[in-house]
Structure 1
Amino acid sequence: MDRFEAMRLFARVVERRSFTLAAHDTGLPRSTVTYAIKELETRLGARLLQRTTRVVKPTLDGEAYYRRCLAILEDIEEAEGAFSGVQPKGMLRVEVQGTIARHFLMPALPEFFARYPDVELSLSESDRWVDLVQEGVDCALRYGKLPDSDLVARPVAMLERLTCATPAYFARFGTPTDIESLAGHRAVGIRSITTGTLAPLEFMEKGDVRTVSLPGTLSVTGPESYLVGIRLGLGLAQVPRFHIEEELKQGTLVAVLQGFPPPSVPVSLLYARSRQLSPRVRVFLDWATREFAARSGGMA
């Protein structure tokens, strides 16, 4: 194994805090990873990693060497990327919000792979906050307001939302004509995985956001279950238009209070801050940004 490959391997072990996970990421046997790091430590004459039964952490020397490795590897990526004939290659790990990825990105994947045949894409579906470096993820697709972090966020779309329910629900509870007439109505609740709190309904009125909390018999944490609850007539809900376009056309769902729309919600691509993105990450970010622009009308 040459020195640059050993550097890449060492950096992955540090980021994953695991020989086993680093081996999985790189497609190498764990024994090869262990031997390569041992050989690296012997050549440098320094202990780079502290090994315990639960986790692998860099020593002080290992942390300093890791940072130097990142700088060197980024310079190599930048130098190679300067040549237009160099094709991106390798495994690309992306964490996505599944419904949005299936609608906006996956239909165009054949075109992506035709353009970049040496890139392998691994999609993981989750709404949780991901430590990209620690978990070996190259970038994440996220819906909604983002917490403060050291990650770079590239906005790719603003999704219009609607307040809706089934005709049967409105036949039972009446059709609200303004925010005040929501008294006596029910809502399907969407609950935060991290805090357990229920999100209120939101309405724009004269440039301000008004929130309304309604009682309900069902609350969920996932978008697919949320949609099922709406379709069963269990209450009002607020969802992106793209989720329910066909049902609105068919009349199985009805949008109300369109003069008081919920605020649009941003969709962002997140990636770790560094001096230079790898070619495969860079082309994926650019391609995904174009797909969202084409399928959502861009940023509203």
Structure 2
Amino acid sequence: MNKLDGISVFVQVNDSGSYAAAGRVLGMSASAVGKAIVRLEERMGLRLLHRNNRSIGLTAEGAVFLDHCRRIMAELAAAEATLSNAQAQPSGRLRVSAPVASEGWNRVFLQFMATFPEIDLDVSYTNRLVDLVEEGYDVVLRIGPLQDSRLLTRRLGVFSLRLVASPTYLERHGTPRTIEDLLGHACLRNRNVSSRRIDAWPLGPDHAHINAELSNKLVADHYAMLLMAALEGLGIVCMPSFWSDEHIERGTLRHILADLTPNQRAVSAVWPGGRGFPAKLAAFLDFMAQKLPAVLR
């Protein structure tokens, strides 16, 4: 195996989150990707990835090696860009579908425009599951598990769902200390736009019955509304960290039951194969992978 091939496979596995997803991007089978990683580890004499049936994660040595690999690939990409003609410079219209998210995401889009002034950005905000190919998007940002194997993917970052409430609400109604305590509280719930179902809170499989019995004091399909209601002291809401953390830092919301509700959600970029890999798309993916994780945290 060529050394650069091994590096590119390793980086793609980390970006995609699985052997199968990396294989779709690289045009390889999941088995071939796994064998490439094993050969790379054998050559390095180090374990680079933790692997189990559910997930893949970096070892401490793998994290250090990944930083070096990214620099190597960035240098290679820079060299290729220098030798390419002006037609390959990032330019043109880029159609993006993004979830209805916090202002932090919008700032990243504006920073991208400032960095790449020759790209015209066309952003459509929706929480429904769009048909990327039929609706003509160049790239879609999606939250959660990905299902369409026809599409190419790159993981951009992760975030957590947090149960939060205002200090005023907690002073009036008490702070829940257990999962069961939630049954005595006003719950502000999010309705999934695609499924039209009310989203479950991350209470774990042992408390599925609690999820089913939570109150629906307010149900909305937009986190801006739920956030406003929580800030007004109307109840407890479960929302992504990129909506809540700014308010937690200010003290206008409090994070509750943090130790009992661990969870993680992925944000991924998805785009159709078979269209080549235009410079404007490559620029967007690299920029979002660099800037979005800070917003998600």
Q: TM-score range by the shorter chain?
A: 0.5 to 0.7
One-letter amino acid of the counterpart of residue 96, structure 2: V
Q: What residue in structure 1 maps to residue 274 of structure 2?
A: 274
Deviation track 1:99-137 (CA, whole Å, cap 9, x = no partner) reads 25x314534634x34543321111111111112222121
Mapped contact 2:163–2:238 kept (Cα < 8 A): yes
In the alignment, structure 1 segments of 5+ residues that lack a partner are 1-78
Are residue 249 (structure 1) and residue 249 (structure 2) matched? yes
Q: What residue in structure 1 maps to residue 97 of structure 2?
A: 95
In the alignment, structure 2 segments of 5+ residues that lack a partner are 1-79
- CA pair 165-88 structure 1, distance change in 2 beyond 3 A: same
Superposed, 1:25-36 pairs within 5 Å as none
Superposed, 1:161-240 pairs within 5 Å as 161-204=161-204, 210-211=207-208, 212-213=211-212, 214-240=214-240
**Cα deviation, residue 277, structure 1:** 1.4
One-letter amino acid of the counterpart of residue 98, structure 2: V
Deviates more, 1:117-126 or 1:223-232: 223-232
- CA pair 245-80 structure 1, distance change in 2 beyond 3 A: closer
Superposed, 1:50-199 pairs within 5 Å as 83=84, 85=86, 86-100=88-102, 102-104=103-105, 106-107=107-108, 109-110=110-111, 112-199=112-199
Paired with 1:82 and 1:134, the residues of 2 have a C-alpha distance of 35
Mapped contact 1:158–1:267 kept (Cα < 8 A): yes
Mapped contact 2:158–2:293 kept (Cα < 8 A): no
- The total of aligned residue pairs comes to 214
Q: What residue in structure 2 maps to residue 44 of structure 1?
A: none
Paired with 2:281 and 2:161, the residues of 1 have a C-alpha distance of 30
Secondary structure at the counterpart of residue 99 of structure 1: coil
Greater helix share, structure number? 2
- CA pair 229-146 structure 1, distance change in 2 beyond 3 A: farther
Identity of aligned residues (%): 29
Mapped contact 1:202–1:262 kept (Cα < 8 A): yes
One-letter amino acid of the counterpart of residue 160, structure 1: S
TM (norm. structure 1) is 0.63
One-letter amino acid of the counterpart of residue 107, structure 2: M
Paired with 2:218 and 2:267, the residues of 1 have a C-alpha distance of 26
Deviation track 1:238-261 (CA, whole Å, cap 9, x = no partner) reads 222232233223322111111112
Mapped contact 1:153–1:269 kept (Cα < 8 A): yes
Deviates more, 1:265-274 or 1:193-202: 193-202
**Cα deviation, residue 144, structure 1:** 2.5
